[in-house]
Amino acid sequence: MTTDGTGHESVDLVRPYVITNGQELPKGDEFELVTLVTAADGGARRAQLDPERRALVELCCGGYLSVAEIAGHIGLPIGVIRVLLSDLAGNGQIVTRNPVPTAQLTDIQVLQEVLDGLQTRFG
Amino acid sequence: MDSRLVSDDHTYLSEQVRIAAKILVVGHFAVGKTTFIGTLSEIPPLRTEETMTRAGAHIDDLRGVQGKTTTTVAMDFGRLTLSDTLVLYLFGTPGQQRFVQVWEDMARGALGALLLVDPQRLEESFPVMDLVESYGIPYAVGVNYFDESERRPDDELREALDLLPDTPVVACDARDEASSAGALITLVKYLQTRTS
Ligand SMILES: Nc1nc2c(ncn2[C@@H]2O[C@H](COP(=O)(O)OP(=O)(O)OP(=O)(O)O)[C@@H](O)[C@H]2O)c(=O)[nH]1
Ligand SMILES: [Mg+2]
């Protein structure tokens, strides 16, 4: 596993499909690029997992990361990460927080918060 | 409020983060997307790949044809924690039409896009503009001046790019934090006018 996610330009195309045991790639809406993920139960039960799933759960033990960040840190394509995540979610080993959890939260509010945040940080 | 918004090593998000917003940084080849994201990101910019396959193809089918109908494309992204509950992700990807699957993923839920253009190569921006428009993503134009002496009046750029009258045009140096943040702020203010 690398921490910067680079150097994987030539990930062997066969390998990811072996990792995912031939499952279909889930559609994007279950795990969007910015869906936030963390390990359930502090990553207990990860010892029985295969190396890729274990690495993923270990990474997620430290706190919340987006799906995109997980793919970047692990160095596997997003589609493969989605398969692994949906597996692990099925086993209750990871939990997600959806990008915008409450329906009441409109784009107007999000935009205002983004603007305030940018101005505070860079203003 | 806890002033420590991210974990000690800056890898993880704060426990309290509830909203993950997404803004795209788009533009033609070598226009400065990666530079822009790196300038603003609080984490070392990450890179990830999308494996592109035929729509609906089953994995097993791909084993025999790997290298023919699949290809990988990199996108890079960075992160900005803007409050204890809000994090903003910036995603950059190449503007070629053949990367539509990546675009679908990136476009889903995106608030808007900053379209970076090089005033010396304006015509190269048209395919990207078409893509952004086809996904209905509102955008502002950031003019990355690689050489100050090449400055052109905004009117001229607008005309050359055939922009709508209310599309913002803002100069930005992708290497400079204040300048890049200013371009993002211009975009967000524009997005606000469209939702109100
Ligand atoms: N002088 C100058 N150089 C810049 C500026 N922004 C980027 N560059 C340089 O232009 C080159 C391309 O920048 P990148 O940030 O890699 O561009 P990109 O859009 O990510 O490129 P691709 O991902 O290959 O499409 C790099 O060598 C940068 O250092 C700028 O504002 N001024
Ligand atoms: Mg780049």
Average pLDDT over residues B26-39: 93
Q: Say which amino acid occupies B82.
A: L
The H or E element containing residue A36 is strand A36-39
**Local structure of residue A105 (DSSP, 8 states):** -
What pLDDT score was predicted for residue B105?
A: 83
Stated pTM of the model = 0.85
Q: Which two tokens stand for residue B87?
A: 């994090």
Confidence label for A77 from pLDDT (cuts 50, 70 and 90) = confident
pLDDT in tens, B135-167: 999 999 999 988 776 788 999 999 999 999 999
CATH code of the region B19-195: 3.40.50.300
Look over chain B and give the mean of its residue pLDDT values, rounded to a whole number.
84
Binding-face residues of B in 86-145 toward A, CB within 8 A: 86-89, 91, 104-106, 108-109, 111
Ordered DSSP codes for A50-99: -HHHHHHHHHHTTSBEEHHHHHHHHTS-HHHHHHHHHHHHHTTSEEEE-S
Q: Which ligand 1 atom minimizes the distance to the CA of B176? A: 31
B93 CB near ligand 1 (under 6 Å): no
Q: Is the pLDDT of residue B108 over 60?
A: yes
The residue of B6, B10, B19 whose CB has the most chain A CBs within 10 angstroms, and thus the best one to mutate to test that interface, is B19
* pLDDT > 90? residue B12: yes
Our CA-based measurement puts residue A119 at a distance from the nearest CA of chain B, in whole angstroms, of 8
Higher pLDDT, A120 or B5: A120
B147/B177: higher pLDDT = B177
Residues of chain A positioned with their CB less than 8 A from the CB of B58: 22, 24
pLDDT of residue B189: 97
Among residues B171, B130, B151, B135, which one has the least CA distance to residue B36?
B171
Least confident segment among A49-63, A64-78, B57-71, B90-104: B57-71
B29 lines ligand 1 (CB under 6 A): yes
More confident residue, A54 or B73: A54
Q: Is B1 on the interface with A (CB under 8 A)?
A: no
Structure confidence by residue, pLDDT tens digits, A80-93: 999 999 999 999 99
3-state secondary structure chain B: CCCCCECCCCCCECCCCCEEEEEEEECCCCCCHHHHHHHHCCCCCEEEEEEECCCCCCHHHHHHHCCCCCEEEEEEEEEEECCCCEEEEEEEECCCHHHHHHHHHHHCCCCEEEEEECHHHHHHHHHHHHHHHHCCCCEEEEEECCCHHHCCCHHHHHHHHCCCCCCCEEEECCCCHHHHHHHHHHHHHHHHHHHC
C-beta of residue B184 within 8 angstroms of C-beta of residue A118: yes
| Average pLDDT in chain A | 80
Q: What is the pLDDT of residue A28?
A: 54
**Closest chain A residue by Cα to residue B48:** A72
Q: What is the DSSP letter of A28?
A: T
| Exposed / middle / buried, residue A122 (Cβ in 10 Å: 0-12, 13-18, 19+) | middle
pLDDT over 90, % of chain B: 58
Task: Say how many CB pairs under 8 Å bridge A and B.
Answer: 181
B20 pocket-lining for ligand 1 (C-beta < 6 Å): no
Tens-digit pLDDT profile for residues A11-32: 444 445 555 655 655 555 679 9
